[in-house]
Amino acid sequence: MKKILLLAVVLCSYSWAARAQVVFTPLPAEQRQVQYSGNYRTASVAAVGLPFFDDFATTTNQPDPARWINGGVYVSNRFADKPVTKNVATFDGVNTAGKPYLPGATNPGPSDTLTSQPIRLGALTPADSVYLSFYWQSGGVGNVPDRTVENSFYLALDFKDSSGNWQQVWRQNAPGQTTDFTQVFLGLKEARYLHNEFQFRFRNIGQRSGLLDIWNLDYIELDKNRRKGQNTTRDIAISQPVSPLLRNYTAMPAIQFLENPEAALADSVTATLNNLGIVPGAISWRGFLKRAGTSAADTFLVAQGLVPAKAWQYKIGGKPRVNSTALPSAGFTLVHGFRLNTQEQNPLQAANDTTFRYTTFADFFAYDDGTAEGGFALLASGNTTQVAMRFELNRPDQVRGFKIYFPVIPPLHEGRQLTLRIWEEENGQPGRVLHQESFEVKYTEAENEFYEVVLSQPVSVSGIFYLGWSQPANQFINFGFDRNSNSPGTRFIWSSNTGWQPDTYLQGAVMLRPLMTGSALGIENETPETAAIEVYPNPGKGELQLSGNYRSIVVYDVTGRQVYAQQRNAQVNTLNLSHLPAGMYTFRINTGKTIITRKVIITL
């Protein structure tokens, strides 16, 4: 908690003069999926030979058990800044399952470890020039390890000698700031390390009470006939993954997108490459886009180039298009990305030559990627604080509700009432309040699971509108915050002393998503045609009837998760939802002219 409060003070200092405090709080825990069963963390496999290589591009969540014995390290793109290749191994204060090693602890102690499987080195001598190399980074986009007078926070590397004892051979004390990736070479120059059960082990010493004191590792190589400081590999690899498909959002309603796809698409989607070799590399690359679940892809870019030796963050990019892709109005998901053709001979390096991402087109806008790295909170002087997020429409629509995520970060506020507000735009910032109503803070069971709040009635909006909340100024309430997405100029904060101001203090996205009806038709103007569409009996036991003409229907549970979909069948107006648990469900019915919403209760 001491570390978290210190971080809050640092972030707040920039805005204290304005009496508004934007606070980012690291997660104390998160649910992490263990991909491999059995005694994965401690089991060993048969000793492997040279070369030993891993850039963590072949797995997510957990390191490859064929190479590693994992002690809590997490593999992802989430916490690295400009990685060597896509995916890194992250060390922090939580275990493999994402639980803190010692909840509430403030003193540093042993946390994550990453141990190689045994490696056969018995046939080698010091003359074979065996070197281990790797890249390390402090902090990245996560919490920075503290620098102390005692150097209590650090990342260390141990070698196992022929007697089975671990010997520390390298240590990096915490610099107290975010760093770039730095490469280290260590020679196995002593005969005691050249045996057939050799292992090396990375370990971090830091706070054991959350996603704190983060170190990132990437591109680990162990081989013979190497020289210190010389990379003999030929590897041109993707570093930063492909950027979002959309100009302003990570997701948007299908109907809003289809109204003007060209305006919604990014001018260019990009990725960056690193040339880890000492010679230039002639490569080609292809940009692709397709509907998820289909094999046919549209190639929007074919290019080639000579990537300079040791090039870092070499950018590639192209303008995406959807004119060759069939897109249904009921919603869809697109996949876009890049594939490199590097002509490299090492199959282990092939995994770092592809990057892709998914974009959902349903009934909501999003700035976030769906994964929280921490919590966002706003404190200010006075009685009230407000946060507003800007959204721009391609056609008039209605806000029917919103999705929101509250991470479980103490102090908890389950059931506390906040005020949802929708504003129209005035002079580039929130203006007149169009609607407001109270809602409760709720913590969902699953990590990063949004819960859905349906408004008392849809709110008509056009052009630019703002969605956000108001709360008492002295309440420290954490909203889910994604550090890996950013849309400058779209988040505004308000205090009684300053009025509305752009939030320039914290890069990232609050996990708040407006839900749209897809139609500008208000309830008060409902037509006889739409009024005739009813779902009955309501409440019902799962076998329901649908009256009236419609094109398609989609059903959502109370968390906003789609649980059923059906196209119009002229012969059948029965919906069999008996497989769903009891509860309230939202029916979104597309008539071909508009989308209407019905609430239905299913009983046991």
Tell me the pLDDT tens digit for each residue of 23-73. Answer: 999 999 999 876 543 334 445 567 899 999 999 999 999 999 999 999 999
Give the domain CATH number at 282.
2.60.40
122-126, 170-174, 418-422, 546-550, range with the lowest pLDDT: 546-550
The domain boundary residue, chosen from 187, 216, 232? 232
Q: Per the structure, how many domains does the chain have?
A: 4
| Residue 288 in domain | yes
Return the pLDDT at 376: 97
Give the domain CATH number at 440.
2.60.120
75-79, 236-240, 348-352, range with the lowest pLDDT: 348-352
Asked if 216 and 73 sit in the same domain, the reply is yes
Residue 394 has pLDDT above 90, yes or no: yes
Q: In terms of residues, how long is the chain? A: 604
| Residue 432 in domain | yes
| Residue 408 in domain | yes
Q: Which helix (H) or strand (E) holds 152?
A: none
| Residue 443 in domain | yes
The percent of residues in the chain predicted with pLDDT above 70, rounded, is: 92
Beta bridge partners of 75: 61, 89
Asked if 338 and 479 sit in the same domain, the reply is no
Q: How would residue 520 be classed by pLDDT, with cut points 50, 70 and 90?
A: confident
Domain residue limits at 446: 374-516
CA pair distance 129, 134, nearest whole angstrom: 16
Supply the DSSP symbol for 539: S
The domain boundary residue, chosen from 165, 199, 232? 232
| Residue 12 in domain | no
CB atoms inside a 10 Å sphere around CB 278: 12
| Residue 5 in domain | no
Residue 357 has pLDDT above 90, yes or no: yes
Asked if 246 and 191 sit in the same domain, the reply is no
Return the pLDDT at 414: 95
Give the domain CATH number at 191.
2.60.120.260
Return the pLDDT at 39: 37
pTM for the complete prediction?
0.83
Residue 405 has pLDDT above 80, yes or no: yes
Tell me the average pLDDT across 440-444. 96
**Model pLDDT for residues 320-331, shown as the tens digit of each residue:** 999 888 898 889
CA pair distance 36, 96, nearest whole angstrom: 11
Asked if 254 and 295 sit in the same domain, the reply is yes
Return the pLDDT at 232: 77
Asked if 100 and 223 sit in the same domain, the reply is yes
Tell me the average pLDDT across 70-81. 96
CB atoms inside a 10 Å sphere around CB 161: 17
339-343, 382-386, 570-574, range with the lowest pLDDT: 570-574
CA pair distance 59, 74, nearest whole angstrom: 10
Tell me the average pLDDT across 138-149. 95
Asked if 92 and 157 sit in the same domain, the reply is yes
Return the pLDDT at 7: 46
**Quick one: tokens of 344?**
């490299």
Give the domain CATH number at 559.
2.60.40.3080
Asked if 61 and 189 sit in the same domain, the reply is yes
CA pair distance 86, 273, nearest whole angstrom: 10
CA pair distance 176, 206, nearest whole angstrom: 12
Asked if 488 and 580 sit in the same domain, the reply is no
Residue 208 has pLDDT above 70, yes or no: yes
Return the pLDDT at 574: 86
Residue 14 has pLDDT above 90, yes or no: no
Asked if 357 and 380 sit in the same domain, the reply is no
| Strand ranges (E), 139-245 | 154-160, 166-173, 182-187, 200-206, 215-223, 236-238
Supply the DSSP symbol for 581: P
CA pair distance 374, 566, nearest whole angstrom: 37
Asked if 356 and 251 sit in the same domain, the reply is yes
Please, are residues 269 and 242 in contact by the beta-carbon 8 Å criterion? yes
The percent of residues in the chain predicted with pLDDT above 90, rounded, is: 74
Tell me the average pLDDT across 256-283. 96
| Residue 8 in domain | no
Q: Does 51 sit behind a cis peptide bond, omega within 30 degrees of 0 on the bond before it?
A: yes
- Measured CA to CA in angstroms, residue 175 lies from 151, 520, 604 at distances of 9, 55, 59
Q: How would residue 168 be classed by pLDDT, with cut points 50, 70 and 90?
A: very high
Mean pLDDT of the residues in the chain? 90
| Residue 16 in domain | no
Q: How would residue 571 be classed by pLDDT, with cut points 50, 70 and 90?
A: low
14-23, 340-349, 537-546, range with the lowest pLDDT: 14-23
Give the residue from 584, 483, 567, 573 showing the smallest Cα distance to 533.
Answer: 573
- Strand order in 595-602's β-sheet? 562-567, 552-556, 583-590, 595-602
Asked if 426 and 506 sit in the same domain, the reply is yes
> CB-based burial of residue 570 (10 Å sphere; 0-12 exposed, 13-18 middle, 19+ buried)?
exposed
Return the pLDDT at 556: 81
Asked if 289 and 324 sit in the same domain, the reply is yes
Name, in order, each residue with C-beta under 8 angstroms of 480's C-beta and a sequence gap of 6 or more.
368, 372, 375, 376, 404, 405, 406, 407, 448, 510, 511
CA pair distance 91, 104, nearest whole angstrom: 18
**Model pLDDT for residues 180-202, shown as the tens digit of each residue:** 999 999 999 999 999 999 999 99
The domain boundary residue, chosen from 473, 495, 516? 516
> CB-based burial of residue 280 (10 Å sphere; 0-12 exposed, 13-18 middle, 19+ buried)?
middle
Residue 529 has pLDDT above 90, yes or no: no
Q: How would residue 572 be classed by pLDDT, with cut points 50, 70 and 90?
A: low
